[in-house]
Amino acid sequence: MATIAGHRSASMDLELLRAACRHAAKEKVIASAPNVWLPPKSELHQRSLTTSEVVKLLLSSLLSMALQLRSGKLTVPCRCRDKQTTGRSCDFDEPCR
């Protein structure tokens, strides 16, 4: 069931009611499905992220990157001279030369 910020809208409830009535009529639980009026669909509204949403996204991203770095699945390009001359990446446990 679709939700907006964790809350169902009235139009979503009406859509659910209409579907339930049609199913009940199809299964012969009721004689016929009543007409359920639905409001016209509105266009999606653009909105900005809240501060807490931005913080959650950034923390999640940083945690994911840290776990990938720790497991060796994510590598960070090295800009030191050692890489340019030997093609070898830096070891994060030891400082660059």
pLDDT digits (tens, 9 = 90+) for 20-71: 999 999 999 999 999 999 888 777 777 888 999 999 999 999 998 888 888 8
pLDDT of residue 68: 82
With 60 as the cut, is the pLDDT of residue 12 above it?
yes
This prediction has a pTM of 0.39
Residue 74 CA to residue 61 CA, distance in Å, equals: 13
Judge contact between 97 and 80, C-beta under 8 A: yes
Boundaries of every domain in the chain: 1-39, 50-89
Side-chain-side CA neighbours of residue 40 (13 Å): 2
Q: What are 62's two structure tokens?
A: 């940083």
Handedness of CA 69, 75, 79, 81 (dihedral sign): positive
Q: Which segments of the chain are extended strands (E)? A: none
